[in-house]
Amino acid sequence: MPSIPANHPATAAMGNSTAGRLRSIFSGSIGNLVEWYDWYVYSAFSLYFAKAFFPKGDQTAQLLNTAGVFALGFLMRPIGGWLMGLYADRRGRKSALMVSVGLMCGGSLIIALTPGYASIGIAAPVLLVFARLLQGLSVGGEYGTSATYLSEMAARAHRGFYSSFQYVTLIMGQLLALGVLIVLQQWLLTPQQLDAWGWRIPFAIGALCAVVAVYLRRNMAETESFEKMRGKAPQENLLRVLLRHPREVLIVLGLTMGGTVAFYTYSIYMQKFLVNSAGMSKDTATLISAATLTGFMLLQPLIGALSDRIGRRPLLIGFGVLGTLLTVPLLQAIAVVQSPLAAFALIMAALVIVSGYTSINAVVKAELFPVEIRALGVGLPYALAVSIFGGSAEYIALWFKSIGHEEGFYWYVSGCIACSLLVYVLMRDTKHHSRINREEDENAARAKT
């Protein structure tokens, strides 16, 4: 099937029909799934490849090194949010989404093929860092453009529901990474084979899937919002235009702070927490993580649809209040849990709370900004907040553990959520003050005259 150029008139027609919207949302979501699978494979398999790149030290020291590289990848996310945001607002959401998944493919391929420290010495961790920086650039661009694309493509009455599929596919990417790990652990490889070379398999799978995602994305429709703005965008520097919206930028930074720390704590870090703190086996921790993430994924569209009825702000406030009050007792309980079923229940309770943020954060940010800087406005401040708070969460948790004060991390997470709660209380509900809705109304009024 030949690809359709982003500026072809057919793309608007495709996007206007319900079937066209659904096809484009599906293609964009599948690409998002592949991006996040590639990103999370690093965390899911770090328990196995840490010693290949960082052979010295005990398990906590090795995990600290791999967590440090994980955090370094986040340093590129603001640059990715900036560059891809500019590109998406100038050239189109579709074009930027294709570039971002291509970059992710390259990063995964490098990790899959890089020899270990025993073979090439210091070059091994250097190449690992380079690959993660490349993937950080990709993910930094993916989030803002994907959030913008899904929010603009969705129908007004169901914008919260459809935009929630960004986190559905994000979590699905995590589950796919864990699923590959479970299959390799339980049926295909021995622990010795996983430690020696088996951890390379998921990175090779990710690179191959990214190629498929590029093919799917080249046939997506461009959003109607961007097509109507095409050629009318301000010719001045878009970063300067963004700075005329300081309130919106600060809202994105503030509402992301607590949400991203909570998300990375209860999803990405929890597998290591169960092994390194609760004393569970790697296999058990992986199965618990897979089960809780499945429930978490299924919650997203339900809560997204609820936001279409009651608004976005009540859900954010609910997350802020419950997250502030319950984070410390929940993490204290998980740290000493003995039963896998009890661990599942505790983590699931935490993820239900976090869903008040994850299910709607994409649409809330997209509804804040005008179309000409929407991808940049969503992507750049979000990437800054995630780099500072999300990317460092695992490293901070392990650092607190290494100095013998693990509970300090529990209070850190709770404090970050409390700061975001202040933003949720003070901000307006974007469902009732949506820039996307306003632009659609203006375009409809112009079409009648």
88-102 pLDDT per residue, tens: 988 888 889 888 888
First to last CA, the chain: 38
- Range in 79-83, 254-258, 303-307 with the lowest mean pLDDT: 79-83
pLDDT of 9? 42
Q: How confident is the model at residue 5 (pLDDT cuts 50, 70, 90)?
A: very low
Nearest to 249 by CA among 79, 391, 385: 385
Contact 340, 288 (CB under 8 A): yes
Q: Give the separation between CA 34 and CA 42, rounded to whole angstroms.
A: 13
Select the more confidently predicted residue: 52 or 341. 341
DSSP string covering 98-158 = HHHHHHHHHHHHHHHH---HHHHTTHHHHHHHHHHHHHHHHHHHHHHHHHHHHHHHS-GGG
pLDDT of 415? 97
Q: Give the separation between CA 182 and CA 186, rounded to whole angstroms.
A: 6
E-strand stretches of 183-296 = none
Q: List domains and CATH numbers for the chain.
A: 15-221+237-442 (1.20.1250.20)
pLDDT of 62? 67
pTM of the model: 0.83
E-strand stretches of 113-272 = none
- Whether the pLDDT of residue 58 is over 90: the answer is no
Contact 59, 249 (CB under 8 A): no
Q: What is the mean pLDDT of the chain?
A: 86
Q: How confident is the model at residue 10 (pLDDT cuts 50, 70, 90)?
A: very low
* Residue 187 DSSP class: I
Q: Give the separation between CA 114 and CA 48, rounded to whole angstroms.
A: 15
pLDDT of 139? 85
- How confident is the model over 119-135, as a mean pLDDT? 88
pLDDT in tens, 264-316: 999 888 988 999 888 898 889 988 988 999 999 999 999 999 999 999 999 99
Residue 346: both structure tokens together: 């505790």
**Of all residues in the chain, what percent carry a pLDDT higher than 90?**
41
pLDDT of 259? 96
Select the more confidently predicted residue: 97 or 412. 412
pLDDT of 17? 62
pLDDT of 229? 80
Nearest to 132 by CA among 28, 264, 263, 41: 41
Contact 30, 220 (CB under 8 A): no
Residue 74: both structure tokens together: 């986040």
- Whether the pLDDT of residue 3 is over 60: the answer is no
- Whether the pLDDT of residue 47 is over 80: the answer is no
